[in-house]
A = this chain, B = another copy of it.
Amino acid sequence: MNNSTETQTKSGFDFGKIVSKLGPLLALIVLVIIVSALNTSFLGINNIMNLLQQVSINALIAFGMQFVILTGGIDLSVGSILALSGAITAQLIVSGFSPIVAFLIGAACGAVFGALNGLLIAYGGAAPFIVTLATMSVYRGLTYVLTNGNPITGPAMNDSFSFQFLGQGYLFGIPFQVYLMVLGFAVFYVLMHKTAFGRKTFAIGGNEKAAFVAGVKTKRILIWIYVIAGFLAAIAGLVLTSQLGSAQPDAGTSYEMDAIAAVVLGGTSLAGGKGKMSGTLIGALIIGVLNNGMNLLGISSFFQQIVKGIVILVAVLLDRKQAKN
């Protein structure tokens, strides 16, 4: 008896350590265990592919959002940038541009919209929240003007293999957009954690004044960071447009909130200066598993909102509790 108690205590102790090491990953694992216990098809290869595909758009946006949040900022305009870039791309294709060229222009537009956010924030001296709240409205309005409120679609889009491949294609049985997500993760992981640019991003979020005193070109870095956020939102917009076969004027509405939730669930502090890229990927997966799992379990959509809110709360509160210990 005594012996077993001891072992238990010991393994209990180790377990505690593991828990705090795993952080958000633990929440993900628990969620996966619960859902797969309740529904056997969850872990099927088809569903896993679905899940990853569903996650990829949010993950791409969240990668950019994380850079912004690391500097202590926020970008509410990503959903609108997604829609506007998608609409521009679709319009170009419909007017006869080759899909590849249209993609490039669309992505570049996203970067430009992001740069505009960055300029206003870095040089205007206003809070990112309010600047991007305003540009969210402006970009959305532009999307409506461009699309005239109607979805943009046409045979030029839906008969083109390269257009469709982006959001509907498979490579070795895996949806193409999943590769995009993985690539995006790798590139921005390196940028965030292995380069001087990444270090400066953290520094600005940690203490902007000190970063300035240390000679970091804070304005330039800030602008680049919003460019990244805009660019990634545009990429997500292209994927979505391809996936839906049409550019919706109201695409991406409130996607910013899911991206922010993913970043925060991944352990990044909204105050800036602290966070890991891997966390954000896990955060996006948590939200994906939640949505997918609740659908599989047939939870009514009214209750889905309640459950989602509660899961976010629990995950974040647990994470903060661990951070304190």
Contact flags (1/0) for A129-167 with B, using CB distance below 8 Å? 111011111101110110011000000000000000000
Do A261 and B130 form a contact, CB below 8 Å, given A138-B309, A306-B145?
Answer: yes
Complex Cα spacing A305 to B149, Å: 13
B133 contacts A257, C-beta separation under 8 Å: yes
Q: How many residues of A contact B (CB 8 A)?
A: 47
Complex Cα spacing A301 to B120, Å: 25
Give this chain's copy count. Answer: 2
Do A134 and B303 form a contact, CB below 8 Å, given A125-B321, A260-B129, A320-B124?
Answer: no
Shortest CB distance A78–B (Å): 15
Complex Cα spacing A136 to B138, Å: 25
B302 contacts A264, C-beta separation under 8 Å: no
Contact flags (1/0) for A301-324 with B, using CB distance below 8 Å? 111111111101100110011011
Residues of chain B within 8 A (CB-CB) of A261 are 130, 133
Tell me if A271 counts as interface (CB < 8 A to partner B).
Answer: yes
Do A305 and B134 form a contact, CB below 8 Å, given A264-B127, A316-B126?
Answer: no
Complex Cα spacing A316 to B128, Å: 11
Known: A134-B310, A141-B304. 6 other contacts (CB 8 A): A124-B320, A125-B320, A131-B316, A133-B257, A134-B308, A137-B308
A residues whose Cβ falls under 8 Å from a Cβ of B: 74, 120, 124-127, 129-131, 133-138, 140-142, 144-145, 148-149, 257, 260-261, 264, 269-271, 301-310, 312-313, 316-317, 320-321, 323-324
